Amino acid sequence: MAYFDAASAAPLHPVARQALLASLDDGWADPARLHREGRKARMLLDAAREAAAEAVGCRADEVVFTSSGTRAVHTGVAGALAGRRRVGRHLIVSAVEHSSVLHSAEAFEAEGGSVTRVTVGRAGAVDPSGYAAALRPDTALACLQSANHEVGTVQPVAEVAGACRAAGVPLLVDAAQSLGWGPVEGDWSLLTAGAQKWGGPGGVGLLVVRKGVRFAAQGPVDERESGRAPGFVNIPAIVAAVASLRAVRAEAAQEAVRLRELTARIRARVPELVADVEVVGDAERRLPGIVTFSCLYVDGEALLHELDRAGFSVSSGSSCTSSTLTPSHVLKAMGVLSEGNVRVSLPPGTAEADVERFLEVLPGAVAGVREKLGAPVPVTQGGPQELLVDSLGKRCPIPVIELAKVFAQVPVGGTVRVLSDDEAARLDIPAWCEMRGQEYVGEEPAERGTAYVVRRAG
């Protein structure tokens, strides 16, 4: 089985496994106690904190270990907002942040705060000027990921951090996807990450709060982790997490070159092997191991099952999955095709032969799903000037398939109106038009759902 879902959780690094087993005997005691066992545990925890600080590029007393990357985000956002409550109740995030950041923003709004969501371009990156324009006298905090978890696009953190610093606003960086590849550049104020992203054990998060940043921990606190992460820490897991971070960093420069070549190969060859595919995300400013593409006329869940049966573990941001009926918020914010979305995220050590086998298997998997869904075949005859396609109650990718089936029946200049109540159609029909060189006229209100109007350009 080829595991191509490292952006969700990387396989446990061998160094992490060794460190975990080695620290079980000495890291079980309470590090706050003064007896011999407690001192042993404290030494392990202090050494891990020093090593983590070195990897991040900060002071050891700025590092806090939490129970997960998500908990680090929630703690960091809430604490920074509370610490700067006197400044104001305004938060800035990008539209493509990880759900943990967006959920924190929603909770802040529910409590009466205001949130500005900075838009992104079609490649998934923010424009630093968007953050600069969003800054206000009452802005308490800004958040920006270092790189996107779904499409791999690297964000201009240093430029945004500079704009925030000039305005006196702290910037929290979600570095979960990038920290294994190197430290985050720029004058940021807070940083979060989760160990499972770089091959550490799950259940270990990292929160860094720079000295001088106003921070007020929320909820009950105790004497542990500077009062910012209450409860008994899992020292063996923390030791393993930091050991694996150091190990992947030592391999990062060489492995990045190799994985970039493999993902570039996927980006180039998938559109050659499979018709009607859109490769998304920035082609240059991107993480080494992530490549994402979307396929017209494909049910995302069905395609993932086909690839799983063929021996490949991948993930999807398509609305055609069992976990959601709406497109990924990242793909939606980018305005790109969402149906049949596949994210390939290669872990370090991925074999070139596995990538080649994936490229051999993919065309047949896509063709099989399209055949089952009754995807369109070319039609040449002329027809009426306008057609109406009723796709109400049908989910992605059916509305686009129904459009494609009848589109060739209208003459050049004719229109097709697609009635749909599926949110994905708002993204996928315009994307279909762009991919096929047809004119997307726009959407119109309908008695039920929405009418999406497409004009045949040729």
Residues serving a catalytic function are 320
Residue 175, amino acid: A
Provide the CA 90 distance to its chain's centre, in angstroms: 24
Tokens found for residue 229 = 């992460």
Please state, in angstroms and as integers, the Cα–Cα distance from residue 371 to each residue in 163, 276, 303, following that order.
Answer: 51, 14, 12
> In sequence order, what are the residues at sequence separation of 6 or more whose Cβ sits closer than 8 angstroms to the Cβ of residue 133?
none
Where do runs of H (alpha helix) occur along 125-230?
A: 128-134, 157-167
91-120 burial by CB neighbour count: b if 16+ within 10 A, else e?
bbbbbbbbebbbebbeebeeeebebbbbeb
> In sequence order, what are the residues at sequence separation of 6 or more whose Cβ sits closer than 8 angstroms to the Cβ of residue 243?
15, 16, 18, 19, 51, 200
26, 239 contact by CB (below 8 A):
no
CB atoms closer than 10 angstroms to residue 457:
12
Residue with tokens 């490649």: 123
Rounded to whole angstroms, how far apart are CA atoms 318 and 301? 8
Three-state DSSP class for residue 73:
helix
Rounded to whole angstroms, how far apart are CA atoms 215 and 101? 17
In degrees rounded to 5, what are phi and psi of residue 288? -65, -35
Tokens found for residue 447 = 């008695």
94, 327 contact by CB (below 8 A):
no
Rounded to whole angstroms, how far apart are CA atoms 73 and 69? 6
Rounded to whole angstroms, how far apart are CA atoms 56 and 185? 10
